[in-house]
Structure 1
Amino acid sequence: MVELKPYSGKYYLWQYIPSTEAAGVFAALFILGTAYLTWKVTRTRAYFCIVFIIGGIFEIIGYCARAAAKEKTDVLMPYVIQSTLILIAPALFAASIYMVLGRVIRGVLAEFRSVIPVKWLTSIFVCGDVVSFAVQASGAGIMVTGDSMKTGENIILGGLIVQVVMFGLFVVVAGIFHSRLRQWPTAPFLEDRAKWESILAMLYTVSVFILVRSIFRVIEYSMGQDGYLLKHEWTLYVFDAVLMFGVVVAFAYKFPSWLTKDVLKDEEAVGRELIIRD
């Protein structure tokens, strides 16, 4: 019979016996989603989405490590791999999402509708994402040492708060831009409004998923090792795994293949022709 084993003395890495079945299911789902996105990126040359694929690979490895940990709850490596990679993968999804908004703004020739200048917009949010990623990764590394558990939790919490703030700001910036664009539409936007509206709807959807997941993680680490969330595995799957797979599905369904540099140049040329014609 499988039992929860201590890593060292009375110190336990896990607060429960991880489910191999649940982890296996999500590893398989992320494999399918990431494989599809890899094919889309390769076919359309949308290489700015590669970082999203790396996030998917992190999810796959993380859940594979969880699946292998059921009978190895006293082994450090599977715990470290799944804890770190599942924690930081959404930061990589976020980086692609930030880049998509900047390309949408340029594609509809609406730089003057953005609250933040487009030349700074992507850099600001991606830099914030990098900070969040680095802080969470370092916190996860410290946490698994055992002796510095509380310090690691606090560092992770700081990184998650940065992520929540940046994503909240991103949603506000995207919303204001969208509202202004609808009120004062540009020629390229009116030319194919449904296409641009659909990509913005996708951005809102994945942003909400990641924001909810990050808030869950903030609450989880605020409660600490003795809190309900870290002691019950179902919360991870409902408020993290399901939401992040939802991000992959939404991104794949409305994959922004027309936002490559070559396509944007064509869009810009057509847009300027429409403006001159009008």
Structure 2
Amino acid sequence: MAELKPYRGNYYLWQYIPSTEAASVFAAFFILGTLYLIWKVVRTRAYFCIVFIIGGIFEIIGYCARAGAKNRTDVLMPYVIQSTLILIAPALFAASIYMVLGRVIRGVGAEYRSVIPVKWLTPIFVCGDIVSFVVQASGAGIMVTGDSMKTGENIILGGLIVQIVMFGLFIVIASIFHSRLRRWPTALFLENRTKWESIMAMLYTVSVFVFVRSIFRVIEYAMGQDGYPLKHEWTLYVFDAALMFGVVAAFAFRFPSGLVVDAAKDEETVGQELTNRNWASPTLVSS
């Protein structure tokens, strides 16, 4: 029978005996979702989504490590692997999510509807995402030693707060752009409105899932080792694993392929839209 064992002295890595069954189920879910996304990326050549696939691989490795930790609660490596990879995987999902919006804006020929210039939109959010990723990974590395536990938790909190701020800003900017596009639609948008609307719906869905998950993680690390979340495994599966699989499923269901429009057609249509900007611009048209 599995027993919760200390890593050294009275220091415990785990606050409970991890469930092999739950971890195995989610490892299988992420394997299926990631394999499907690999097939979609190769088939559609949407190579900007590779970073999303890497996030899926991190989730797979993380939950496989959890699945094998039930009888090894006194061993450091499985704990480090699962805690680090499950923690930082959503930052990789976020990078692809940010890149999709920039491609949507260009795809519908509505660059001037964006609050932030499109050439800066993706770099700004991806840079913020990289900061969040590095900070969280650093904090997770520091936490593996008991003496530095609190320092590691605070560093992770900082990275998660950066992630929340960036996602909150992203949702606002995406919503403003979407509202403007609906009010002043471009020809490219009207040609295939259902496609663009479904991609935007997917972006909102996955963004909210990651946002909620990040809030949960902030609460978890703010409460510390003695808090309810870190002492009860179900919270991880409800507010992290399930939500992140939801992100993978939604991204796979409405995979953002076909975002590169014909160059000549795009140039012609954007030119027409810019010609009409004096009467169509949201800054010049009264509500």
Give your verdict on TM over 0.5: yes
Q: Aligned partners of 1:256 and 1:267: how far apart in 2?
A: 20
Q: Compute the TM-score of the two structures, normalised by the length of structure 2.
A: 0.93
Structure 1 partner of 2:83: 83
- Of residues 269, 272, 284, the one that matches 1:271 is 269
Q: Deviations over 1:207-237 (max 9, x none)?
A: 0000000000000000000000010000000
For 1:137-216, list aligned pairs within 5 A: 137-216=137-216
- What amino acid maps onto 1:111 in structure 2? E
Q: Residues 253 and 21 of structure 1: is their aligned pair in 2 closer, same or farther, counting only changes over 3 Å?
A: same
Q: Residues 235 and 106 of structure 1: is their aligned pair in 2 closer, same or farther, counting only changes over 3 Å?
A: same
Matched, 1:40 2:40: yes
- What amino acid maps onto 2:216 in structure 1? F
Q: Aligned partners of 2:115 and 2:92: how far apart in 1?
A: 24
For 1:29-68, list aligned pairs within 5 A: 29-68=29-68
Stretches of structure 2 lacking an aligned partner (at least 5 in a row)? 277-287
Q: Residues 10 and 102 of structure 1: is their aligned pair in 2 closer, same or farther, counting only changes over 3 Å?
A: same
Structure 1 partner of 2:19: 19
Q: Residues 142 and 275 of structure 1: is their aligned pair in 2 closer, same or farther, counting only changes over 3 Å?
A: closer
- Residue-pair matches, total: 276
Alignment partner of 2:245: what SS? helix
Stretches of structure 1 lacking an aligned partner (at least 5 in a row)? none
Q: Residues 31 and 49 of structure 1: is their aligned pair in 2 closer, same or farther, counting only changes over 3 Å?
A: same
CA RMSD of aligned residues (A): 1.6
Superposed displacement of residue 265, structure 1: 2.9
Q: Deviations over 1:144-198 (max 9, x none)?
A: 1111000000000000000000000000000000001111111111111111000
Superposed displacement of residue 202, structure 1: 0.3
Q: Aligned partners of 1:100 and 1:117: how far apart in 2?
A: 15
Matched, 1:234 2:249: no
Q: Aligned partners of 2:269 and 2:157: how far apart in 1?
A: 45
- What amino acid maps onto 1:165 in structure 2? V
Is contact 1:87-1:136 (8 Å) kept?
Answer: yes
Matched, 1:109 2:109: yes
Q: Aligned partners of 2:115 and 2:169: how far apart in 1?
A: 11
Q: Compute the TM-score of the two structures, normalised by the length of structure 1.
A: 0.96
Sequence identity of aligned pairs in percent?
82
- What amino acid maps onto 1:164 in structure 2? I
Q: Residues 23 and 91 of structure 1: is their aligned pair in 2 closer, same or farther, counting only changes over 3 Å?
A: same
Is contact 1:229-1:235 (8 Å) kept?
Answer: yes
Superposed displacement of residue 98, structure 1: 0.2
Is contact 1:2-1:71 (8 Å) kept?
Answer: yes
Superposed displacement of residue 271, structure 1: 3.4
